[in-house]
Amino acid sequence: MNEAKQSLKAEVRKSCLLQRAALGEEERETKSRIIQQKIQNLPEFQQAQVVMLFLNFRDEVETTALAEATIALNKKLILPRCASHGLLLPIEVGDLTEDIEPGVWGIREPKLNKGETDPSEIDLIIVPGAGFDLSGDRLGYGGGFYDRFFMRLNPLTPRVALCFECQVIAQVPVDKHDAKMTMLITENDVYDFRTLGIQ
């Protein structure tokens, strides 16, 4: 990636995260509840048996209730654990109290007691990000963890991103290795990029 592109990404990422941080706690909780309900209403979620999602960190969309609902619906819940070399380990979690510990950055991560799940078994992956556009492009946090992980999934597995509407921008600066999302869910809408012929 060239320096100018890297610099642009950093600038846009900072702007998106400032917009997100400006939301008040009550507003963030209300909007998160709406987003989590929208996910549970998706046929892709209802039909999935193995769901990978993330536990929110700082001011991301709240996902704890969604994780609990996934377990309650007898689906297999997979959470990411950050490993060396920018890799994500997909670990099954059966209990959000017993199977979770703080990771390197204080992010709630799964313990390694259940071992890795084969990424090809994942039916649906739900991901965070700093910013998104309505072409299906995602701006991550700069580590490349998810872009590397997407390559290990079944190509037909839906990639569903979550964010607040304030994080949706006109155009995300992307590189050729940046994967597009299948769908984006905000408190306002469910954007399905398959209608654009992206997926």
Q: Is 98 within any annotated ligand binding site?
A: no
Q: Is 38 within any annotated ligand binding site?
A: no
Q: Is 145 within any annotated ligand binding site?
A: yes
Q: Is 136 within any annotated ligand binding site?
A: no
Q: Is 45 within any annotated ligand binding site?
A: no
Q: Is 146 within any annotated ligand binding site?
A: yes
For residue 138, give the 3-state DSSP assignment. strand
Q: Is 11 within any annotated ligand binding site?
A: yes
Q: Is 10 within any annotated ligand binding site?
A: yes
Give the distance from CA 183 to its chain's centroid: 11
Q: Is 60 within any annotated ligand binding site?
A: yes
Q: Is 143 within any annotated ligand binding site?
A: yes
Residue 31 buriedness (CB in 10 A; 0-12 / 13-18 / 19+): buried
What's the first-to-final CA gap in the chain, in angstroms? 25
| Local structure of residue 197 (DSSP, 8 states) | T
- Inter-residue contact 56 to 64 (CB < 8 Å): yes
Residue 186 buriedness (CB in 10 A; 0-12 / 13-18 / 19+): buried
Q: Is 9 within any annotated ligand binding site?
A: yes
Q: Locate 63 and state its tokens.
A: 């996902």
Q: Locate 142 and state its tokens.
A: 């700069």
- Inter-residue contact 62 to 36 (CB < 8 Å): yes
Annotated binding site: 9-13, 55, 60, 138-146
Annotated binding site for substrate: 55, 60
Annotated binding site for ATP: 9-13, 138-146
